[in-house]
Amino acid sequence: MDVQTTIIYCVVAALLCRYCCPLFGMFNQLNLPYMLSWILGMVLGDWRTGLIVGAVITTLNMAPVVIGAVQTMNLWDAAVLCVALVVGQGMDIEVAFAIAAPMAVLGNALTNIQTVILYDGITDQLTLRAVRNGNPKQAVLVESIVKWCISFVWMCVWYFILVYFGTRAATSLVTAMPGWIVSGFVAAGRLLPAVGFGLFLSAMGKKKFIPFFIIGAYAYLYFGLSSVKIAILSVCIAFIYIQLDRSDDGILAKGGK
């Protein structure tokens, strides 16, 4: 990826993160990477792969926890780097996934730093000063325009550093690695989605669903079923399970009467 392509890519990523993600976030966590990563892929000429990468990144944390404005992972930062590695650099998705996954934690830390430095340290102080001076128009201007512009510039700079230098460092690292270490990254990349689903099951607190998880894993690993076929089979099993569960509830209700 050259500098011009990287700048365009980073600006689009910042726009999606700053404006589209909060909009989709109002609708049941639809601000996850699988909703918007195809646009990043389209910028680099392959929207299908971008969509696949976003779906894989989403499996890192199927049950994101948000307390106030603080979240456990910033999956969008991991998706930005992973799409650049896979689509822009041609890296295997498993290796790119293992490399980009830590960015979900690092990006979350940088988001918290952004909140402290940019919001608490700059824009909130400007707003407070305007209110004390009896200038409500200036306070509204700072909160509605200045804050968003500063945040957008911050994200553009961070994404440029992440993509321009991160992709080159990751490519050089993978090239210099022995084959057995690369194989380890591939194995880790394949394991991480399972960890994400495990966290999801743990957050649900429904141990009775664990057998379905194991059935899906065996169907993929040993029977060679594609993810689409497993998804269709899962929908059918879920429908049957719901119908049987309702039937049991009905029988118990009648027995109680």
pLDDT at 25: 47
pLDDT given for residue 28 in this prediction: 47
What's the pLDDT at 99?
77
Q: Where are the alpha helices (DSSP H) in the chain?
A: 3-15, 21-24, 33-43, 47-58, 75-83, 93-100, 102-114, 124-132, 136-141, 147-160, 166-176, 179-204, 210-221, 227-256
Which residues touch 197 (CB under 8 Å, ≥6 apart)? 59, 62, 213
Distances in whole angstroms, Cα of residue 222 to Cα of each of 188, 196, 197, 213? 19, 21, 19, 14
What are the residue boundaries of the structural domains of the chain, listed by start?
3-177
For 7-38, write each residue's pLDDT tens digit.
888 888 888 876 665 544 444 455 677 777 88
Question: So what's the pLDDT on residue 72?
Answer: 64
Query: CA-CA distance, 218 to 154, in Å (whole number)?
Result: 44
- Are 181 and 90 in contact by the 8 Å Cβ rule? The answer is no
| Beta carbons of 1 and 9 less than 8 angstroms apart | yes
- Between CA 16 and CA 189 the distance in angstroms is 25
pLDDT score for 83: 86
What's the DSSP call for residue 181?
H
Length of the chain: 257
Gap between the Cα atoms of 255 and 16, Å rounded: 54
CA dist 169 and 99 (Å) reads 11
Tell if the pTM clears 0.75, that is, is over it: no
Predicted pLDDT of residue 195: 67
In the chain, which stretches have pLDDT less than 50?
Answer: 23-28, 252
Residue found by looking up tokens 């394991």 in the block? 191
